[in-house]
Amino acid sequence: MGKPSHNPGRGKKFDQIFYDVESVDGDDEAGRKTTIKKVVIDLYLQKKLSQKASEGPAETTAAGILAVCDETGDTEFGTDINAVIAGIRSKLDSAFRIAWEKWLVVTVNPVRAYGKDGGGGLELTWKEVQRGKTVTGDVLMRSYNLHAEWFNRWQIEPWPDQVRGEDGRIVATIPASPENEKALERFVQQINELRKRLAALVAPGEIEQTLAAIAAGPITALIGAKNSPGS
């Protein structure tokens, strides 16, 4: 507690407390991180006086504690300090409340053949997260981590950037609607069907013919020809 100071209209400031708010620091994806922003709440000892000149000198009509948050403009007055602090915190809860919505982070990663002489492929995955925007405009991602300590399993991070990498890496975000989830499931089914068709092209008795044909045209033409009537 610092030395009391007087503020006209508010009274004597006797303390300062803080309200924690999630925010994001940094500009690019590599440098961004979530931090705790400290929102200041000033506490004043205040007397409310009668100002009617006809009644003579001003008299104290009420005395108590005034809590002020200049950042939001919220105030709370009362005689019980615990009730005043609870009241101002409740108002800040409303001001800084984040409305979380369900979203999906869809990722495509190239599969590398580690420990082999060659190979390739892709991995498509998605994860349900929650998306929220702070009062300052920062967009956050909240996800549940089963492997974290039981009291701290909700993890909050900056919202991931959209990625379209030259190596085929993709990061895309979409709302977690039933329609989008069903469409992703259908997409996986089609990927699996395509995988079977590709595997058939390198099956015993087919692989040499396939490798020779690739030099003459794209592999999509081979897939189409392999599945055409009479093939």
Query: pLDDT per residue over 96-111, tens digit each?
Result: 988 899 999 999 999 8
Which helix (H) or strand (E) element contains residue 37? Answer: strand 33-49
Q: For position 227, what pLDDT does the model report?
A: 59
Query: pLDDT per residue over 145-173, tens digit each?
Result: 777 676 667 888 899 888 898 888 999 99
Q: Tell me how far apart the alpha carbons of residues 133 and 141 are, in angstroms, rounded to a whole number.
A: 9
Name the E strands within 94-181: 101-110, 122-133, 139-144, 154-158, 163-164, 170-175
Nearest one of 24, 72, 70 to 44, comparing CA atoms: 70
